[in-house]
Amino acid sequence: MNCDDAQLRLHAYLDDELGPVESAQIGQHLDQCPNCLPVYRQMQALRAAVRTRTAYFTAPEGLETSVRSALRANVVEGSPRREVARKWLGLGAALAITVVATWSLTLLLSAPGEQSRLLREVVSDHVRSLMARHLTDVASSDEHAVKPWFNGKLNFSPPVRDLTTQGFPLVGGRLDYLHGRPVAALVYRHRKHPINLFVWPAPAGAATGERTYAREGYNVVHWVGGGMNFWAISDLNRKELQAFARLLRRPDVGEPPVRLVPGAQDAGNAPKK
């Protein structure tokens, strides 16, 4: 894909109107192209500015009163009723235009919500990692090799657990870019199906419940735990991906980053009374 092709599609890319393959191609081009990335960033900034500084037009104070008194004056002066009707019609038309303008602006701004934008990015990153055959920067099933690999590359340390004995071997990890920030991508496999698990810190008070989505033929499970956002995506069926997510959420599987439940049963290596 060349720059002309990429830039032609940037608006559609930003508006979530492209298919996953095309979207991934654009993303890939943006990763490598010093010309198109600034153009894309500018579009993003413009969109953000429009969103946060939405123009609202409030009728000036006293408009209603002056309209009423003008009307009354007309009536009092005995001018034809048609004149009055015309004034009201004009006011009505102006109001209608304002309403339509506000309504279309609202539609334009609220079309893809934040969550759906993020979901689209998750799908694109997943597809891109498969297309580019660039699943891992560090290939290892050893959590003690994968976790330290992120040191100095991210400003947080993602929890890494191997789930080989549960049927989801850890394959490795890589750096990725999501939601406007670098994130950890942990790669697992179940049978032949690759799973990308994106991890980055969650804001305080983020909802922790599990959410499942289906998008472009992929299943996605999202949850928040231990202060981290988790997004798991795969072509695995929904049940298996949910099982994977639940294994990761269990504090007694693999190596928990923090022991949350004192005295909880673990794999059996704790001394028993």
33 or 195: whose CB is closer to Zn ion? 33
CB of 8 to Zn ion, least distance (A): 11
Q: Which residue has the tokens 């930003």?
A: 14
33 or 248: whose CB is closer to Zn ion? 33
CB of 124 to Zn ion, least distance (A): 17
CB of 11 to Zn ion, least distance (A): 15
30 or 247: whose CB is closer to Zn ion? 30
36 or 197: whose CB is closer to Zn ion? 36
Class of residue 145 by CB neighbours under 10 A (exposed 0-12, middle 13-18, buried 19+): middle
CB of 21 to Zn ion, least distance (A): 18
Residue 9: C-alpha distances to residues 23, 68, 256 (Å): 9, 51, 43
Provide Rg for the chain, Cα atoms. 27
- Note the helical H segments in the chain: 3-14, 20-32, 36-52, 63-76, 81-110, 114-131, 143-149, 238-249
List interacting residues with Zn ion (CB under 5 A): 3, 6, 33, 35-36
